[in-house]
Structure 1
Amino acid sequence: MPAQPPAGGPPTGERPAGELSRQEAYHALFSEHFLATVRLARLLGADDPEDVAQEAFVRLHRRWQDLREPAAALAYVRRTTINVTTSRLRHLRTVRRTPGEPLRVHPSAEDSVLAGERTTRLLDAVRQLPARQRRALVLRYWLDLPVAEVAAALGIRLGTAKSTLSCAQSTLAALLKDPT
């Protein structure tokens, strides 16, 4: 006797029009958001942003079948990108540190390419922000995410995200204020 499809679901091999399989949904998410994930990693200071983005999508792929809500996959990728970048930067700081010598910050390749004194000054000011404020600004203004998605990516509440962004803007304004 042939196998029967699950009760209440479409017959095997068929699905409602417009509904993607999990594999197709993963591939669509990857193709649509991989470059933005690379940009996120780059803006957070990763020296290997493509590797960080790939790592985030590999981790998502491993957990894809366990996701209760596939709509949360993008927030998962962003949060993983932030965590992997933070972890790698922490590791690099530790490796580069030698006894008795202060930590030296090496500018990224993107910084050397960026033209103009204003852009360089802005990036320097952003680097001076506390890590949470810097991440929130990058997510909100460089990736143009709504505040709710910033909160989801950082794993904080909406009100905390709003407060963090407000503090980051105030601090940034003070850092960029002309001394003249």
Structure 2
Amino acid sequence: LRARDPGAERWLLETHAGLVERIIVRVIGDVRNLEDNVQEVFVRVFARASEIRDPGALKAYVTSVAVFVAREVLRKRRRHAWLRFFAPEELPEPAAATDPESREALLAVYRVLSEMDVDVRISFALRYIEGMDLAQVAAATGRSLATVKRRLMRAEEVFVARCRDDETLRPWLEAGSRWA
């Protein structure tokens, strides 16, 4: 990568594009502009490839760049929210959820997440949607483990409170064992 070998860049794209797409979708909550956001991640990774000293840290570095791009997208959306003329129901439906109840619940989860502080939302999505452990979340967000734990505690409080108020999510919350 440091030598700008096209084969190395192609390899990086092939091996990490899926990870970047998952992080972008799970943190942002929809697939609008997914290709542009993924491309932005790799443009930044390629531009700063010389900074990667340990090849074993490549995945963590790509993940942190993806999180940074997602954070920028979310913050930009918040700043420009007044320009949006579409309702949340008009967002593309997630492909992973097949039955209508699951699709509706997933959209409701992302509505709840959209109301959270951006950094809290990112920590929550990486931990509970992407399934990263605490150390991985800390590395991906560039924050200390203690900060991540505080953000997750706050995120869980907000998430549970909002789910209890949401008629779509309340049954899912009550049926589960984690936050019931």
TM norm. shorter chain > 0.5: yes
Structure 1 unaligned runs (5+)?
1-20
The reply to whether residue 60 of structure 1 matches residue 42 of structure 2 is no
1:148 alignment partner, SS class: helix
Contact 2:93 2:107 in 1 (8 A): no
Structure 2 unaligned runs (5+)?
171-180
User: Structure 1-normalised TM-score?
Assistant: 0.69
Partner of 2:57: 72
Identify which of structures 1 and 2 has the higher relative contact order when contacts are C-alpha pairs closer than 8 Å and 6+ apart: 2
Deviation (angstroms), 1:93: 5.3
Equivalent runs, 1:53-132 vs 2, <5 Å = 53-92=38-77, 97=82, 106-107=87-88, 108-110=91-93, 115-116=100-101, 117-132=104-119
> CA 1:151–1:118 in 2, change beyond 3 Å: closer, same or farther?
same
- Measure the CA separation in 1 of the matches of 2:69 and 2:87: 19
- From 16, 25, 32, the equivalent of 1:47 is 32
- Measure the CA separation in 2 of the matches of 1:51 and 1:93: 19
Aligned length: 156
- From 147, 154, 162, the equivalent of 2:149 is 162
Where has structure 1 moved over 6 Å in runs of 4 or more? none
User: Structure 2-normalised TM-score?
Assistant: 0.69
Partner of 2:134: 147
Deviations 1:27-57 (A, max 9, x none): 5443232112112112233621222112212
> CA 1:111–1:104 in 2, change beyond 3 Å: closer, same or farther?
farther
Based on CA coordinates, which of the two structures has the bigger radius of gyration? 1
